Structure 1
Amino acid sequence: MKMENFSFSHLFLYFLLVSFFLFVSGNIGRFLIENQGMNRQAGMLLQGVIFTGLTLAVIYILKRKNPDVIKNIGMKGVHSKSKFIVGVSLPFILLITGIATAYLFGGIDNVSLNLTTNVVMAVLINSITAFLYEAFPEEVFIRGLIFNELNKKFRFIISLVLQPLIFVCVPIVVMALSSIFFGNPFAVTLDYLILLISFGIALQLYRKYTGSLWMSMIFHVIYLEVARYISMGGVYDPDVALLEFDETFGGFMTLYLSYLFIIMLSVLVLGILVHKRYKKNET
């Protein structure tokens, strides 16, 4: 079977599209929330509808030219059901283990679960918004179209490194444009770059191991909800934190749970599993 040729123009086009779509949807929502008095949740949901809608339009156009595009980017089928179950289970296992060890080692105390109706509804609504505004469109473009294009030219390990670098550039470009056109604050810190690169690698490994881009989307949403409603104690509203606790120092759970356990241990575990599969295929 003849392999498709790598196209830098396609790669650059996908990067431009995802950056432009994020810029447009984000600033429309920001404008309506800050200047038209729109409810924050409604505004964020609108951002997601716009971003996902534009992404679906691109998929539709690409599918007319290449009927296999959905399969090629991993939105149809999995390597095996057992691998997909492992993929779905892993972040929850790491979440529970991270919270338990943080408590046992004295990193947090006075821990209590906050399962009120308001909190549960806030998490559910934000999960839908996160899927529409972040997980679905970003995974389709970055771990789907862009990675698939990179993989036509480079080995997996090289593509695995290049993809998160492109992933990092998207928000930087969007923030720079927002600063130029609307005067929004623009600052990029080293810890933010390290987080995005590590997160991008983890997301790609979830797709690689399970063979499904949907798994990347699932992990994307799980990570965001853990960060927003557990590690950061209710980033939008302290009263809607899913888990309440006292930290030994500010930001401990963000570093320990969100970064070390959810991201880095995902990279470690999935890296080992993917490597073992490669070794098995070679023998």
Structure 2
Amino acid sequence: MTHPRSAHPWSSRPRMPLILRLVIVGAGALVIWLAIASLGTVLWDEEMSLARHLANALSAFVLAGLLVVVARKLLDRRPVATLGLTRGLVAVRDLLYGALTWLLPAAVGLGVALGAGWLQIEINATVAETIGVVLLLIVLVFVYEAFPEELVFRGYIYRNLTTAMAPWLAILAQALIFAAFGTTLWVVTHGWGVLLERLVMFFGMAVVAGCIRLISGSIWSAVGFHLAFQVVMQMFLSGQYLEVSLSDDRAFIVATAVVAFATAATIAGAFWRGQPNWTRPEPDTALPAAHATSRRLSKSDVAAVRRSRR
């Protein structure tokens, strides 16, 4: 008779201590994005053409996905879906709600800024061209940044941290790791002048995304939040695919990003009702409810889970 520990990966012990697994995945993610940036510079110089953007996005999506899958299955000995990857219509709902936690307050803040005359915006493109750019950015940001980064940080790293500490503390810890990751990338590619600005921005974003991830229980909510934030910022501030004139960049950032960061977690609480766990560690020894509801369990699955809880 097969012992449940060998038949069900969620009841097996990880192959190495938590800190080593976090270092491997965190350092691996940094190496992946640095390698992509370096290779892109070799192939396309410093220009961020559409071809380079697409190549970078696909590389990050595939390599970061493989990193998490391999680490979760071989090092953690757990199913990848237990990182918070809800499925089907639930995943679509979580993604849309996550995007709305950023878009709703940002739209209100932007409307107030425009109405009060603090900000003027001019888009030098037709409606069709603007819609095309928005759709393009949604795809690029999802593949290059939102999904792979959330899978690594609010998925793998956050879930592993919650096995050893209170979830609220895990949010802060993963935010520090994400801030170090993102700031390092920007310092390497843009110099030390961006250090403080990027450190604060990445930490703040990661805290809010972590709160949304905790409240919803789903990675997709954090992906939606990340996606909305990056699409709007790149559309209005980068000038790469759309010519946009802003009277005051800082006023735009405050009216949208700062307002959204300050209120997104509260809005998430309205979208996902319930009593989220902020204080108790969540041992990774049984199949989480989010995963159990995403697929049908066989009788042997249920029996193995019950045995692992004894």
Query: TM class by shorter-chain length?
Result: 0.7 to 0.9
- Number of the residue aligned with 1:142: 153
Task: Determine if contact 1:136/1:217 at 8 Å carries over to the other structure.
Answer: yes
Please state if 1:129 is matched with 2:135: no
CA distance in 2, matches of 1:213, 1:47: 22
CA distance in 1, matches of 2:57, 2:97: 28
The structural deviation recorded for 1:273 is 8.0
- Number of the residue aligned with 2:255: 256
What runs of 5+ residues in structure 1 fail to find an aligned partner? Answer: none
Query: What are the superposed Cα offsets for residues 2-23 of structure 1, whole Å, 9 maximum, x if unpaired?
Result: 7967611001111111101111
Query: What are the superposed Cα offsets for residues 204-228 of structure 1, whole Å, 9 maximum, x if unpaired?
Result: 1222222211121121111011112
For 1:50, which of 59, 62, 65 is the aligned residue?
59
Q: TM-score scaled by structure 2?
A: 0.72
Structure of higher CA gyration radius: 2
Percent identity, please.
15
SS of aligned partner of 2:275: helix
For 1:70, which of 56, 80, 93 is the aligned residue?
80
For 1:198, which of 192, 195, 204 is the aligned residue?
204
Aligned partner of 2:220: which letter? W
CA distance in 1, matches of 2:168, 2:271: 14
- Number of the residue aligned with 2:32: 21
- Number of the residue aligned with 2:165: 154
Aligned partner of 1:119: which letter? T
User: What RMSD over aligned residues (CA atoms) do the two structures have, in Å?
Assistant: 3.4
CA distance in 2, matches of 1:264, 1:202: 8
CA distance in 1, matches of 2:30, 2:143: 15
* Change in CA separation of 1:154 and 1:3 when aligned onto 2, cut-off 3 Å: farther
Structure 2 matches for 1:77-88, cutoff 5 A? 77=87, 84=94, 86-88=97-99
Moved more, 212-221 or 2-11: 2-11
CA distance in 2, matches of 1:173, 1:113: 34
Task: Determine if contact 1:30/1:43 at 8 Å carries over to the other structure.
Answer: no
Q: TM-score scaled by structure 1?
A: 0.78
- Number of the residue aligned with 1:266: 264
Query: What are the superposed Cα offsets for residues 189-218 of structure 1, whole Å, 9 maximum, x if unpaired?
Result: 323221111100111122222221112112
CA distance in 1, matches of 2:58, 2:155: 19
SS of aligned partner of 1:19: helix
Task: Determine if contact 1:4/1:152 at 8 Å carries over to the other structure.
Answer: no
- Number of the residue aligned with 2:286: none
Moved more, 249-258 or 196-205: 249-258
The structural deviation recorded for 1:139 is 0.8
The structural deviation recorded for 1:52 is 1.1
Aligned partner of 2:102: which letter? P
Aligned partner of 2:41: which letter? R
Aligned partner of 1:224: which letter? Q
The structural deviation recorded for 1:250 is 4.3
- Number of the residue aligned with 1:102: 113
CA distance in 1, matches of 2:72, 2:12: 18
* Change in CA separation of 1:39 and 1:107 when aligned onto 2, cut-off 3 Å: closer
Aligned partner of 2:147: which letter? F
Task: Determine if contact 1:205/1:271 at 8 Å carries over to the other structure.
Answer: no
